[in-house]
Amino acid sequence: MEVSDKLGIVSQFDTWRKKHVSDRELVLVLAFAVGFLASLAAYVLHFIIHLIEELVTSGFQVKTINWLYLIYPVVGIWLTSLFVKYIVRDNISHGITRVLYAISTKQSRLKPHNTWSSIVASAITIGFGGSVGAEAPIVLTGSAIGSNLGRIFHLDNRTLMLLVGCGATAAVSGIFKAPIAGLVFTLEVLMVDLTMASLLPILIASVTATCFSYFFTGGAAMYRFQMDYLWGLDRVPPTILLGIACGFLSLYFMRMMSWCENGYGKLSSRPYLKLLVGGLVLSPLIFLFPSLYGEGYSSLGLFIEGKTEADWMQVMSGSMFAGQTKLLVLYVGLVMMTKVFATSATNGAGGCGGTFAPALFIGGFGGFFFARLWNMQQLGVYIPEKNFTLYGMAAVMAAVMHAPLTGIFLIAELTGGYQLFIPLIIVTISSYLTINIFEHHSIYAVRLAKQGKLLTHHTDRSILTLMSMDKIIDRDFTSVHPDMEMGQLVHALSASRNDYIPVLNDSGNLLGEIDINQLRYIIFRTELYHRFHVSQLMTPPAATLGVNDPMEDVMKTFDRTGAQNLPVVSVDGQLIGYISRTHLYSMYRQLVADFSAE
């Protein structure tokens, strides 16, 4: 079938759909489809990860040191980088940040390859031992599915944003069988506003993904958690202290991750050197601490499901610490502190994965470390290690992602431990308030916030983020040279459709402006035409705008100067065009109307 025939069929179907199915009804159907496809993608990804893990580690001995830990992670990263370079040919790292960027600057449009490329790349990376998580790639995949389904049916940008949110919700819900956590993740992390029009599609996607995950993997929770110790008021002080400690632990994780990323970024032009450096960091860490291999959920399970020290000791199996009971706390502390280096080395060297699982991992190890030290020192009331492992997971997630509700509901749904709600609330609030003193954005949003490209719940700022400076710059202007006589200037004024004329030098740099309103008293005095030059008549502009200035700064500049038109210049000072206050505010009002419409 020829392309024209296919396009004709699509056009006919679209015409029939608009006649018989409203956009709102279509969105509900698409939300169901997104939920199913996202849960399927999550199942396929984890199936491939476990398949690769079983193939490469089938010969490992539990109680002995395994030298292949030095090789497999590097092989996985190398294969991933080849796949990305020669097949995908696009950057697919930082999945959740990429979704935020699409919402903020690309009108929620994600590329078609994002519906599958992250699954393959992250499966290779994690299956071979890369110390990252699969959640961010699945969130990117689910969001891309929603975006591309919406584009097939020619839906508007606002509806695309909703479908992207449905995809992200379905991804988190499907991975953890946690429908409420998936919903609040989209609200807190992706910052998609919740209205009555968006609530139903997101809930449909969330519940659909959860139900199909039960179908694919069974009805059991991720961890078999049993409440052995009821929470009481006497455990409030250690719970608060754990939250504060996890806040600082999260700050360490974010700052160190950013520092490592900047370091690997400097090697971006030399991929094999980057692979070598990352491999030299990652492989020895996994060799020394096998708990760092892959996502790390099995190691967390030992703390959550274990009841005795013999159960917890299994976390050191395969390492040189194995069997050394007195070194358990030291081992847990070292793993907790080095996880950030393993994660950054995996991604920095060319692997593909997210920081969702590493945040849970560090939090879980941090919670166990805190509780074990507390009980060893007999500082007061006994605190159960497995409960505090869960508290730590929630606390670090709340701080790193700036998402306390996500941390609370995810841990509760992950374990079925709904009786933990009160301590989970206390620990996440303590952690979030602690990190908020130092970091005002999540680990996903901080990169975009620095560039002024972050969409927030603040409607005015969201509108300004969605506005594109490129679309409001007027590039049709008449310019004059500073050496031009006043007589020639009059002819230029008559040819211009604006009441201002920029004065440029030979290189196109802006020197000043001619305001026709200031010349109206002498413009018709012909005896002055050869006496004055443009350089004597021009005035400096009220302000200049940079081509990369955030729209919020552009608005503030107009308010501060009261100007009707302001020039936009490039980094080297060349004039690009002008922005009109009237045009700017007209577009702003239109976007506010579109953004606020149900």
For the chain, the domains span 21-217, 233-452, 461-596
| Tokens matching residue 349 | 């060297």
DSSP 8-class letter at 504 = E
Q: How many CA atoms lie within 13 A of 141 on its CB side?
A: 33
Who's near 223: CB < 8 A, 6+ residues apart?
300, 301, 304, 305, 414, 415
Contact assessment for residue 329 and residue 373, using Cβ atoms and an 8 Å cutoff: yes
CATH entry 1.10.3080.10 includes domain 233-452 = yes
CA distance 597 to 148: 22
CA distance 371 to 377: 10
pLDDT of residue 7: 46
CA distance 293 to 275: 18
Element of type H or E holding 404: helix 404-415
Pairing relationship of beta strands 473-474 and 575-580 according to DSSP bridges: antiparallel
Q: Do domains 233-452 and 461-596 have the same CATH topology?
A: no
| CATH architecture group of domain 21-217 | Orthogonal Bundle (1.10)
pLDDT of residue 338: 94
Who's near 254: CB < 8 A, 6+ residues apart?
400, 435, 439, 443, 446
Q: What is the full per-residue pLDDT of the chain (598 aa) written as tens digits?
A: 554 554 455 566 667 667 777 778 888 999 999 999 999 999 999 999 999 988 887 755 544 567 777 888 899 999 999 999 899 888 887 778 778 777 765 566 888 898 999 999 999 999 998 999 888 899 999 999 999 998 888 888 888 888 998 999 999 999 998 899 999 998 888 766 666 777 899 999 999 999 999 999 887 777 787 777 777 788 899 999 999 999 999 999 999 998 998 888 888 888 889 899 999 999 999 989 989 998 888 899 899 888 788 888 888 888 888 888 888 999 999 999 999 999 999 999 888 988 899 999 999 999 999 999 999 888 878 888 989 999 999 999 999 998 899 999 999 888 877 788 899 999 999 999 999 999 888 887 776 655 555 554 445 555 555 566 777 888 888 788 888 877 777 777 766 767 778 888 888 888 888 777 666 666 666 666 667 777 777 888 888 888 778 777 888 888 888 888 888 888 888 888 888 888 777 777 666 555 544 4
pLDDT of residue 3: 46
Contact assessment for residue 119 and residue 47, using Cβ atoms and an 8 Å cutoff: no
| Tokens matching residue 350 | 């060319």
Fold category of 461-596 in CATH: CBS-domain (3.10.580)
Nearest CA to 339 out of 130, 93, 68, 53 is that of 130
Give the position of tokens 């490469």.
56
Q: Helix (H, G, I), strand (E, B), or coil: what is residue 526?
A: helix
CA distance 52 to 508: 59
Q: What is the CA radius of gyration of the chain?
A: 29
pLDDT of residue 450: 58
